[in-house]
Structure 1
Amino acid sequence: MLPPGAVSRRDVAAAAPTPDVMQPKQPRKGFLGYLMRHPTIAFGGALLLLMIGVAVFAPFLWTKDPTALAPVMRTRDPSAAHWFGTDMLGRDVYSRVLYGTRVSLIVGFGVAFFASVIGLFIGLVSGFVRWADSIIMRVMDGLMSIPSILLAIALMALTRGSVGNVILAITVAEIPRVSRLVRGVVLSLREQPYVDAAVACGTRTPVIIWRHILPNTLAPMTVQATYICASAMITEAILSFIGAGTPPIIPSWGNIMAEGRALWQVKPYIVFFPAIFLSITVLAVNLLGDGLRDSLDPRAAKRV
Structure 2
Amino acid sequence: MSPDTAVAAAPASAELFPAEVRRGRIRTFIRRHPTVALGGLLLAVMAFIAVFAPWLGTTDPQALAPARRVRPPSELHWFGTDMLGRDVYSRVIYGARISLIVGLSVAFLSSAAGLLIGLFSGFLRVLDGVMMRIMDGLMSIPPILLAIALMALTRGSVQNVIIAITIAEIPRVSRLVRGVVLSLREQPFVEAAIAAGTTTPRIIWRHILPNTLAPLTVQATYIAASAMITEAILSFIGAGTPPTIPSWGNVMAEGRALWQVAPYIVFFPAVFLSVTVLAVNLLGDGLRDALDPRLAKRI
Structures share fold, TM-score greater than 0.5: yes
**More helix per residue:** 2
Alpha-carbon distance, 1:34 to partner: 1.6
Instruction: Tell me how far apart the structure 1 counterparts of residues 124 and 138 of structure 2 sit (CA, whole Å).
Output: 21
TM normalised by structure 1 equals 0.89
- The whole-number CA distance in structure 2 between the counterparts of 1:282 and 1:292 is 15
Q: Which residue of 1 aligns with 2:31?
A: 36
Partner of 2:106: 111
Aligned match of 1:155: 150
**Aligned-pair RMSD on alpha carbons?**
1.2
Partner of 1:73: 68
Structure 1 CA distance for aligned equivalents of residues 271 and 158 of structure 2: 22
Quote the offset at 1:266 in angstroms.
1.1
1:251 aligned to which of 238, 246, 250? 246
What TM-score, normalized by structure 2, do the two folds share? 0.91
Aligned twin of 1:16: none
Task: Quote the offset at 1:93 in angstroms.
Answer: 0.1
Match of 1:62 among 34, 44, 57: 57
Shift of 1:35: 2.2
Which structure 2 residues correspond to residues 74-113 of structure 1 after superposition, within 5 A?
74-113=69-108
Q: CA deviation at 1:33?
A: 2.0
Q: Deviations over 1:257-292 (max 9, x none)?
A: 000000001110000000000000000000000000
Aligned length: 277
Which 5+ residue runs of structure 2 have no aligned equivalent?
Answer: 1-22
Which digits, 9 at most, give the CA deviation of each residue in 1:158-182, with x for residues without a partner? 1111101100000000000100000
Name the aligned partner's letter for residue 119 of structure 1. G
Equivalence for 2:174 = 179
1:301 Cα deviation (Å)?
A: 5.8
For residue 303 of structure 1, report the CA deviation from its aligned partner.
Answer: 3.9
Aligned counterpart in structure 1 of residue 159 of structure 2, from 159, 164, 167: 164
SS in 1 for 2:115: helix
Larger radius of gyration: 1
Which residue in the other structure is 1:17 paired with?
none
Indicate whether 1:215 and 2:182 are aligned. no
Hey, what's the Cα distance between the residues in 2 that align with 1:267 and 1:261? 9
The Cα of 1:302 is off from its aligned counterpart by 9.1
Instruction: Return 5+ residue gaps in structure 1 as ranges.
Output: 1-27
Q: What is the aligned partner in structure 2 of residue 138 from structure 1?
A: 133
2:273 is paired with a residue of what secondary structure?
Answer: helix
